[in-house]
Amino acid sequence: MEPSSDDRSAVEIQRLREALNLAPEQVDISALVPIFVPGAFCALGNWPGPYSLLRAKDLGLTWSVVLPNQTMRYVDRRLEEHWDSRGIQWKTLALKNLSDITMKIGTHEFRREDGTIYAVAMMHADGIGPSRLLLRDRLASLFPEGYKVAMPEMSCGLAHSNRISEPEMAKIQDTVNHCYKNGIRPLVPGIYSPEELFEAVR
């Protein structure tokens, strides 16, 4: 018999509690990754750890340690201070970790009749698909003509070529709208340039 959703939720909550109880030196930094969150999480200044508000309206960036079964521990000030005190360039390491675990930039491809890719969706099993939008070198190689990005849901990111037809763009926009309106954890509804994922000037 499969466990009920209530049983699974209880297990996940227990895992989160156990992770929060870990001392900083017990946290597996090789599982550290950057993660996008709604800007409202950070806008009031009461987020419990490091974050950056981005140029894209209503979007923030923070960091998390990925745990089994799509659970995670957000980086808090205690972890940040521990790594900083040891001279660990943990933000750089987080991006490297993300690259290392990303065998393929997209999980779904949008192709033309001639087989060329005009867009990819990122719905990876680890639940942090949108984070792959930070792997700019890979996306630039895939779309040398330039590209735009979207992250309508916290587990769904998209990137599409700048060289795109109206029907192709309509399909991408419909996908973004559907994911934002129907997703379990909506993020932002817009389509952005890669530069809008940089930290905002304060």
Per-residue pLDDT tens for 114-170?
999 999 999 999 999 999 999 999 999 999 999 999 999 999 999 999 999 999 999
The tokens for 117 are 């890719």
**Are 187 and 137 part of one and the same domain?**
yes
Q: How many domains does the chain have?
A: 2
The owner of tokens 């140029």 is 55
List CB contacts of 58: < 8 A, sequence separation 6 or more.
38, 39, 40, 188
Is residue 202 assigned to a domain?
no
The answer to whether residues 81 and 143 belong to one domain is: no
Same structural domain, 94 and 10: yes
Domain boundary pick from 84, 100, 116: 100
For residues 32 and 95, give the distance between their C-alpha atoms in angstroms, rounded to a whole number: 8
| pLDDT the model gives residue 166 | 97
Range of the domain at 86: 5-100
Pair (9, 93) in one structural domain: yes
> What does the alpha-carbon distance between residue 176 and residue 30 come to, in Å, rounded to a whole number?
31
The whole-model pTM stands at: 0.87
In a domain, 192, yes or no: yes
* 112 and 86 both lie in a single domain: no
